[in-house]
Amino acid sequence: MVLCLGFMRNSTRQDKRTRKYPTAFVFFTMALRGRTKLADERIFFVTTTVIGFTKIFTQDIYSDIFIKNIQHYQKKYEFMLLAYVIMPSHFHWIVMLHPKRGTISQIMRDIKKYSAWDIMEKIEEREPDMLGIFEKAAIGFKNQRRKFWMPRFDDEVIRNERMFWTKLHYIHKNPVKAGLVESSEKYKYSSARNYINNDHSIIMVDTSYAGIEIR
């Protein structure tokens, strides 16, 4: 099945990057690679949020630390990153789990725990005045001096192709709707760059799994 959708770019204005793609449409071919059905509960859409919706990820240095933590645990758990966006105060991603490695709860536990340690260490070094936000949030939690992430995360199993494309579209449109950029691929910490520009310089995203081809 081939779907032709135009949601990945809002503008028909052409520049050097898009000149060879005159309509700037995205063609989705879901019949590639002999994939199993999405209903096997291995693909998840996940959201997690910084405590108090603190906009810590407006600074690249903290987003880069978070990316490095994702990369580290990707090696450990062998999950496949299908889409992501790091917003100023929260994070969305679509991830496909390895059937014999960790659960989504184990992956999120480790990423949240150790990214929090690394980010808090950098905040203490650069912006110690901010520490009060995270120290106050830890009150009432045993053996915690500071709390960076909200206690839980939200996850949904991706059960069909329609849901996959809906969540992918939502992720890529987040920075645009928030007024941070004019077009999805201009946001630095978004897989829109991977899909549209084939730019994997921030983190590798498996765009071929989705069967996406830009013409």
pLDDT, tens digit, for every residue of 35-54?
Answer: 344 446 789 999 999 999 99
Give the integer Cα–Cα distance in Å for 43 and 157.
6
Q: Residue 120 gets which letter from DSSP? A: H
pLDDT at 21: 28
Chain center to CA of 186: 15
**What structural domains does the chain harbor?**
32-206 (3.30.70.1290)
The three-state secondary structure class of 201 is coil
* 90-96/43-49 β-pairing: antiparallel
Please report the pLDDT score of residue 143 as a whole number: 78
In this predicted structure, what is the pLDDT of residue 56?
96
pLDDT bucket at 152, cuts 50 / 70 / 90: confident
Give mean pLDDT, residues 169-181.
97
| CB < 8 Å & 24+ apart, contacts of 67-75 | 67/189, 67/202, 67/203, 68/118, 69/111, 69/114, 69/115, 69/118, 70/111, 70/115, 70/203, 71/203, 72/114, 73/107, 73/110, 73/111, 73/114
Q: Answer whether 160's CB lies under 8 Å from 38's CB.
A: yes
**Amino acid in the structure at residue 158:** I
Q: Decide: pTM greater than 0.85.
A: no
Amino acid identity of residue 85, one-letter, is V
pLDDT of residue 100: 85
For residue 189, give the nearest of 78, 77, 18, 70 by alpha carbon. Answer: 70
- The stretch 114-120 carries a mean pLDDT of 95
What pLDDT, on a 0 to 100 scale, did the predictor assign at position 173? 97
